[in-house]
Amino acid sequence: MPADLEEKTDRYEGLLAEALEAATVAPPDGSPMADAAAECEEMARSYLEDGRHFREEDDPVNALASFSYGHAWLDAGARIGLFDVPDEGHLFTV
């Protein structure tokens, strides 16, 4: 595997895992927006699992895509107010 692909896959896996830990649901429990946040978080976690599966299967391209898609779900959710996230740092574009 080329070094650039391996490094990016490592970086995006770590970014997604760290972002999942940092994001908290913003809307109150039981609200439709909280349900939407839970769905976004579930998608992000599923993409993290999928990416790890692809890595185990020696498929770094799909692993990187999965980690990127998972992070996009969280980042989009943060931008529309579904998640409270850190204002500073590298995890989110908010």
pLDDT score for 1: 56
How far, in Å, CA of 48 to CA of 67, rounded? Answer: 6
pLDDT score for 16: 97
User: Is there a domain that residue 70 lies in?
Assistant: yes
pLDDT 10s digits, 8-53? 999 999 999 999 999 999 999 999 999 999 999 999 999 999 999 9
User: Is there a domain that residue 41 lies in?
Assistant: yes
User: Is there a domain that residue 16 lies in?
Assistant: no
Token pair in block for residue 8: 């990016």
User: Is there a domain that residue 81 lies in?
Assistant: yes
Proportion of the chain above pLDDT 70, given as a percent: 96
Token pair in block for residue 71: 């992070």
**Number of domains composing the chain:** 1
Residue of 71, 56, 61 whose CA lies nearest to 4: 61
Q: What is the mean pLDDT of residues 46-67?
A: 98
User: Is there a domain that residue 4 lies in?
Assistant: no
Residue of 3, 4, 13, 11 whose CA lies nearest to 56: 13
CB 85, CB 91: distance < 8 Å: yes
Domain span at 58: 30-85
